[in-house]
Structure 1
Amino acid sequence: MQLQQEVSAWRPRVAGVVEVFHARFTAHAYPMHVHDEWTLLIVDDGAVRYDLDRHRRGTPGGTVSLLPPQVPHNGSAATSYGFRKRVVYLDTTVLDERFIGAAVDGPDLADSALRRRVGQLHRFLTCPGDAFEAESRLVLIGERLRALLRPRLELPGGHTASEGAGTRPGIARSLRELLDERVVAGISLLEAAGLVQAHPAHLVRSFSAAFGIAPHQYLISRRVDLARRLLLDGRPAAEAAVEAGSHDQSHFTRHFKRIVGTTPGRYARSEVPRS
Structure 2
Amino acid sequence: MNKPMEIVEMGTGDDLLTDGIALWRPKTDGRGVPNHDRHAHGFHQVTLILSNPGSFEWHFGDERVFSGLAVGHVIIWPALVSIEVCRPSPFQSISVQLSTTFLSRVAGQMGLGGRWLRPTALPGDPFVEGVVRKLADESQDTGAGRGLLASSLGTALAVHLLRDYAGEDHEPAPRQAGLSEDELGQVMRHIEKHIDADLSVERLAALVRRSPYHFIRQFRAATGTTPHQQVIRRRVERARDLLGDGLGIAQVAASVGFSSQSHLHHHVRKLLGVTPGDLVRGRARDDRRDRAFRHG
Bigger relative CO (Cα 8 Å, ≥ 6 apart): 1
Using structure 2 for the length normalisation, give the TM-score. Answer: 0.44
Structure number with larger C-alpha Rg: 2
Using structure 1 for the length normalisation, give the TM-score. Answer: 0.47
